[in-house]
């Protein structure tokens, strides 16, 4: 058993490249996945005997392609030839395969594969599920568990998503620069969604779903490795790394949320933070600030502060201001308000968020922040109303429990024992 234990991670690591390349050959996701499965089975038989190939991904691609070609040829003897378009690209694929096996040529395959998953026709949850299944190779069971739904429901969701993208016209030629940038942006957004799904679990009792966060980081690193000069990809990877570094400190032993201010900073993962900050520093050299870089920079300010009191809130206020200009949104303003409350006081922050009540009327965090500010200002009754709304809007028991803590504190203040 132990002598083949090393194969599994190799297959897993090679998967995005292999399925990406096979999808280009066959222009069909299902066929690519089948071919990948078949080549994995052969690897499990062949590698323990012959040792690992020098380039496992190249080996798997060649074998996967040949398996399907042999199958097509075999069937061709007894059946009419398949339509030409089922075999497009195969002629020239043969010729340039040797060259394609260079690592740098995989990048468009991997990007395309991810891009297929984030097709705009698909709702976000389907995009994420599809990417986790096809690109990451998580089992339906694993994905279902992460989304807190039944396995059958998830199976159906993925099947439906697949059949939708099957008819989507994603061009298979190497993309031009503008097209590539567009794909990168869409894929980055999807990776961010995967991370968020793990970070803030929209429902259920498991608040931090680390595997989804780890998978998002893996994909972000993969993409950055393929496009090493993209500052926004550095920013995305940095953001995820620094956020994830706090995972162990975000929940207490009972599974309740611990706010940033109250977290035990010794439990932050310094390795992840250091890597995130290194990427951020690289990105900043390009002087092309973007939303991911700014968010990473904000996370970086928190990560650098030895204690909550030492946080450079002026810098955070400035960074949120820059983010507001790039991507105006009430949620960004709400976040800036927290920084403003630290720099200028709760009254200034409350004035800043008052116009946001309408656009954010269904947003848990708005009422949490509002209640907090009112509490600081000694307006206990109004604070209680805000906290009650927050509880009604909470997605997880941990969120609700956290707000209840504030409410209890208010109760104690109004009825001294």
Contact letters (x/-) for another protein, 277-316, by CB under 8 A?
-xx--x--x-------------------------------
Asked whether 244 and 217 are in contact (CB, 8 A), the reply is: yes
Which of 183, 161, 198, 185 minimizes the C-alpha distance to 109?
Answer: 183
Among 28, 34, 38, 55, binds another protein (CB under 8 A): 55
What are the residues whose beta carbons fall under 8 Å from the beta carbon of 327, sequence distance 6 or more? 291
The neighbouring-strand residues paired with 257 are: 251
CA atoms within 13 A on the CB side of 172: 16
Does residue 103 bind another protein (CB under 8 A)?
yes
Provide the Cα torsion 170, 173, 176, 178; round to 10°: 0
Does residue 222 bind another protein (CB under 8 A)?
yes
How many CB atoms are located within 10 Å of the residue 312 CB? 16
Please name the residue ranges forming H helices in 201-345.
210-226, 231-245, 247-250, 270-285, 291-304, 313-326, 330-343
Residue 244 CB, shortest distance to another protein, in Å, is 10
Among 249, 274, 308, 401, binds another protein (CB under 8 A): 274
Interaction residues for another protein, span 5-24 (CB under 8 A): 5-6, 9-10, 12-14, 17
Q: Which is nearer to another protein, 54 or 167 (CB)?
A: 54
Q: Which is nearer to another protein, 154 or 226 (CB)?
A: 226
Q: What is the DSSP letter of 347?
A: H
Size of residue set near another protein by CB under 8 A: 31
What's the rounded Cα separation, in Å, for the pair 386 and 174?
52
Is the CA virtual torsion 384, 388, 390, 394 positive or negative? positive
Q: Which is nearer to another protein, 222 or 369 (CB)?
A: 222
Does residue 2 bind another protein (CB under 8 A)?
yes
Q: Tell the residue number behind the tokens 């069909």, with chain if given.
A: 28
- Range in contact with another protein (rule: CB under 8 A) among 54-62, 169-177, 288-296, 375-383: 54-62
First to last CA, the chain: 64
Determine which helix (DSSP H) or strand (DSSP E) holds 309, and give its type and residue range.
none
What's the rounded Cα separation, in Å, for the pair 268 and 270?
6
Residue 227 CB, shortest distance to another protein, in Å, is 9
- Range in contact with another protein (rule: CB under 8 A) among 184-192, 229-237, 301-309, 332-340: 229-237
Residue 274 CB, shortest distance to another protein, in Å, is 7
How far is CA 184 from each of CA 175, 179, 197, 223, 354, rounded to the nearest angstrom?
A: 11, 9, 20, 9, 36
Residue 229 CB, shortest distance to another protein, in Å, is 4
Residue 55 CB, shortest distance to another protein, in Å, is 6
Among 52, 255, 359, 397, binds another protein (CB under 8 A): 52
Residue 111 CB, shortest distance to another protein, in Å, is 15
Q: How many residues can be counted in the chain?
A: 417
Determine which helix (DSSP H) or strand (DSSP E) holds 134, and give its type and residue range.
helix 124-134
What's the rounded Cα separation, in Å, for the pair 121 and 405?
41
Q: Which is nearer to another protein, 8 or 121 (CB)?
A: 8
What's the rounded Cα separation, in Å, for the pair 146 and 213?
11
Residue 251 CB, shortest distance to another protein, in Å, is 17
Interaction residues for another protein, span 321-360 (CB under 8 A): none
- Range in contact with another protein (rule: CB under 8 A) among 32-40, 77-85, 88-96, 216-224: 216-224
- Range in contact with another protein (rule: CB under 8 A) among 23-31, 51-59, 74-82, 163-171: 51-59
Residue 292 CB, shortest distance to another protein, in Å, is 14
Does residue 56 bind another protein (CB under 8 A)?
yes
Among 118, 224, 390, 393, binds another protein (CB under 8 A): 224
Binding site for another protein (CB under 8 A): 2, 5-6, 9-10, 12-14, 17, 52, 54-56, 103-104, 214, 218, 221-222, 224-225, 228-229, 234, 237, 274-275, 278-279, 282, 285
């Amino acid at each position: 058993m132990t002598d083949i234990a090393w194969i599994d991670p190799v297959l897993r690591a090679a998967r995005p490249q292999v399925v990406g390349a096979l999808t280009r050959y066959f222009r069909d996701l299902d066929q690519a996945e089948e071919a990948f499965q078949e080549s994995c089975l052969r690897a499990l038989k062949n590698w323990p005997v012959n040792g690992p190939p020098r380039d496992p991904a190249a080996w798997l691609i060649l074998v996967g392609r040949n398996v399907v070609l042999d199958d097509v040829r075999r069937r061709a003897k007894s059946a009419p030839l398949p339509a030409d378009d089922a075999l497009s690209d195969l002629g020239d694929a043969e010729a340039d395969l040797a060259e394609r096996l260079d690592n740098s040529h995989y990048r468009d395959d991997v990007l395309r594969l991810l891009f297929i998953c984030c097709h705009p026709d698909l709702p976000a949850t389907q995009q994420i599920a599809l990417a986790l299944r096809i690109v990451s190779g998580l089992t339906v069971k694993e994905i279902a568990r992460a989304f807190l739904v039944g396995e059958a429901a998830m199976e159906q969701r993925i099947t439906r998503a697949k059949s939708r993208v099957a008819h989507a016209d994603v061009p298979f030629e190497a993309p031009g620069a503008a097209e590539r940038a567009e794909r990168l942006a869409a894929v980055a957004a999807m990776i961010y969604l995967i991370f968020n799904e793990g970070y803030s679990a929209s429902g259920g009792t498991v608040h931090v779903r680390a595997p989804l966060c780890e998978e998002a980081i893996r994909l972000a690193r993969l993409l950055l490795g393929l496009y090493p000069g993209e500052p926004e990809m550095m920013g995305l990877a940095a953001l995820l790394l620094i956020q994830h570094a706090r995972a162990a400190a975000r929940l207490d032993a009972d599974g309740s949320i611990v706010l940033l201010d109250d977290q035990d900073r010794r439990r932050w993962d310094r390795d992840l933070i250091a890597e995130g900050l290194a990427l951020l520093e690289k990105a900043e050299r390009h002087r092309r600030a973007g939303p991911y870089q700014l968010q990473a920079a904000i996370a970086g300010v928190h990560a650098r502060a030895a204690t909550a009191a030492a946080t450079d809130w002026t810098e955070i206020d400035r960074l949120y201001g820059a983010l507001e200009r790039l991507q105006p949104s009430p949620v960004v303003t709400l976040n800036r308000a927290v920084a403003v409350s630290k720099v200028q006081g709760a009254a200034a922050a409350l004035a800043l968020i008052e116009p946001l009540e309408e656009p954010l009327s269904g947003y848990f965090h708005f009422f949490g922040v509002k209640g907090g500010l009112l509490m600081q200002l000694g307006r206990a009754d109004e604070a209680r109303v805000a906290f009650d709304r927050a509880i009604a809007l909470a997605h997880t028991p941990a969120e609700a429990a956290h707000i209840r803590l504030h409410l209890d504190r208010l109760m104690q203040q109004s009825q001294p024992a």
